[in-house]
Amino acid sequence: MTLARKRTSSTSGKEELTILPPRRITQRTRWILLILLLTAVLLYVNGPLSRRHVVVISSTYYANSRSITNNTVVVLFNSYKRWYLEKPLLCVSRNATHEKRSLAHVQHAFEPIGICRWTAFVAHCPTVHQPSSFELSTAQYFQSSAELPLRLPYQRKVDVVACFSPLFYNERWQLLVNTLEIYRQYGVGVQAYYVQSMLTEIMDLLKLYQKAGYVEIELWPMLSLGQHFEQEMGYSPNSELDFRNQASAHTDCLLKYKDAAKFIITSDIDDVLFPRLGETYIEEFMKLSRDNPFAAGFLYNRYKTEVTTAMRPEHFSLSGLIESAEIHDEWADGKSVYNPERVFTAWIHWPGLTHSSQHKMHLVSSHKNIMVHLRKWKMDSDAPAALRQKTKSVSGRSAKHFDVFDLRIRDLISPSKTRQLQAEFNRTYAQTEEFKKLPVTVRYYPLIADCYQKTFYDKLMKPDSCPGPINCFLPPMPDVRCSIAKANFIFNKVHEGLFVHYAQQARFVTHKDGCNMLP
């Protein structure tokens, strides 16, 4: 700062202004200013440090695991993406004879999405053997804590599990049936469907597969911090988690099934893999594992595929849908099959964290196999005639040739195998009352596709805000029955700087005016 001083001239008797030289800033003042600047940056980057909200998705206890240290709880949670607590997170576990306090090792489950404010985390917590209670606290404020419900990992041993992205406003039963049957008949032991909302008639069919042991239905309710906290923050965490918090669902599924399965497929339900290197999925994955002994998993290229199918269940043909497929020379980011002993967290395209740096994903050559991405659909009210015409063109030598690879659907699955899929479907589910009652009208799909196109794809997948269907306007639909995942979220105040939330009483609620994405 420059200072000025007035003085009276000896010759003129008038006051004159003398400019003094600038005062030098001391070293102590410089340090104080630097500390103030760093504090301001931390406040800006981390948000208000006075309040940190943690929403727990699951707390899984591993007593004896193939890939996680014995007697460990892994907590999967959502929170503001830049992790900062004044004191470390503390895990408190107890059984009948012992108590253990351990510091949690907190990591991002995957690289946070830049434009989204919230993300997923995992916390490793060493525990006592067979804990009867488990709590989160902080190293300073251990007198207050949040007790969390524990779950055990899935116990039944299966060769392959499929973990799908959360379903919302789900109405395209033709796609669901196609995936259910292909994955079931090629050897997926458990198909895990995370459901936020789905037409009730489709849910009734899915429950038949669940009853038979092929499917696990996982409720995926919208998060809720409560009106007070969300008004204080100025937003809902749902709007700041990309694509309905899908990566949290993928990681939750991997954590649940990692000790039960030899391989885990992670994808959307419109990504379909036909095994070409073996008769079943396990044969293909074992062959790839023998050829690539250090692989953490296998990444399959995807190519956009167009199919034609029927609107009405009485006209639906599984074999006709498959044989109608036209594989386009339009590459999309690959989807993965994980070795769960080597992968700790999952994202939609590749792993977030692996257990060892020596294990890398192996890209499967498109000449060996691909995933078909059933992106383009033609819904035909007179499907049988349309399918017969399309099947004729696909099975003949006049089918479209692609520059990158010469693959037609018959190269991925033989006509005889397609007929076997159809025969098994006819024998098991095609004649059920639940299948016959499936809806015949498409309402939501065009609205969602248009919204995603405008907000995501037209912007070259660089959206202006955190992407997801919560940004889409989807009006109520009178007389449409929808099963919506709901839960009661409660919270514990550990101290003024940490609030831990988790869901209780998760259930499906049936609405008669369509689906919604309200907490």
CATH number, domain with residue 482: 3.90.550
User: Of 147, 178, 205, which one is at a domain's C-terminal end?
Assistant: 147
Distance CA 77, CA 79 (A): 7
Do 87 and 196 belong together in one domain? no
User: Of 147, 167, 188, which one is at a domain's C-terminal end?
Assistant: 147
Do 141 and 176 belong together in one domain? no
Q: How many helices (H) and strands (E) does the chain have?
A: 12, 24
Which of 205-209, 222-226, 347-351 is predicted with the least confidence, judged by mean pLDDT?
347-351
Which of 308-317, 376-385, 483-492 is predicted with the least confidence, judged by mean pLDDT?
376-385
Q: Is the pLDDT at 401 greater than 50, yes or no? A: no
Q: Is the pTM of this model over 0.85?
A: yes
Residue 466 in any domain: the answer is yes
Do 188 and 310 belong together in one domain? yes
Do 189 and 142 belong together in one domain? no
Which of 83-87, 238-242, 449-453 is predicted with the least confidence, judged by mean pLDDT?
83-87
Q: Side chain identity at 202, as an amino acid letter?
A: I
Residue 107 in any domain: the answer is yes
Q: Is the pLDDT at 298 greater than 90, yes or no? A: yes
Average pLDDT, the chain: 89
Long-range contacts from 103-109, C-beta under 8 angstroms, 24+ separation: 103/139, 104/75, 104/136, 107/353, 108/81, 108/83, 108/352, 109/76, 109/247, 109/248, 109/251, 109/345, 109/352, 109/353
Range of the domain at 324: 158-383+406-487
Other CB atoms within a 10 A radius of the CB of residue 326 amount to: 18
Do 162 and 122 belong together in one domain? no
CATH number, domain with residue 94: 2.60.40
Q: Is the pLDDT at 385 greater than 50, yes or no? A: no
Q: Side chain identity at 335, as an amino acid letter?
A: K
Do 222 and 343 belong together in one domain? yes
Residue 263 in any domain: the answer is yes
Do 339 and 419 belong together in one domain? yes
Residue 286 in any domain: the answer is yes
pLDDT band at 250 (very low <50, low <70, confident <90, very high): very high
Do 100 and 196 belong together in one domain? no
Do 329 and 443 belong together in one domain? yes
Exposure class string for 255-280: b at 16+ Cβ within 10 A, else e = bbbbbbbbbbbbbbbbbbbbbeeeee
Do 321 and 449 belong together in one domain? yes
pLDDT band at 26 (very low <50, low <70, confident <90, very high): confident
Residue 500 in any domain: the answer is no
Tell me: the pLDDT tens digits for 3-15?
A: 445 555 555 555 5
User: Could you give the number of structural domains in the chain?
Assistant: 2
Tell me: the pLDDT tens digits for 106-160?
A: 999 999 999 999 999 999 999 999 999 999 999 876 568 999 999 999 999 999 9
Residue 7 in any domain: the answer is no
Do 94 and 205 belong together in one domain? no
Residue 4 in any domain: the answer is no
Residue 204 contacts residue 437 (beta carbons within 8 Å): yes
Q: Is the pLDDT at 226 greater than 90, yes or no? A: yes
Mean pLDDT of 295-305: 97
Q: Is the pLDDT at 303 greater than 50, yes or no? A: yes
Distance CA 434, CA 16 (A): 98
Residue 502 in any domain: the answer is no
User: Of 112, 147, 182, which one is at a domain's C-terminal end?
Assistant: 147
Do 163 and 129 belong together in one domain? no
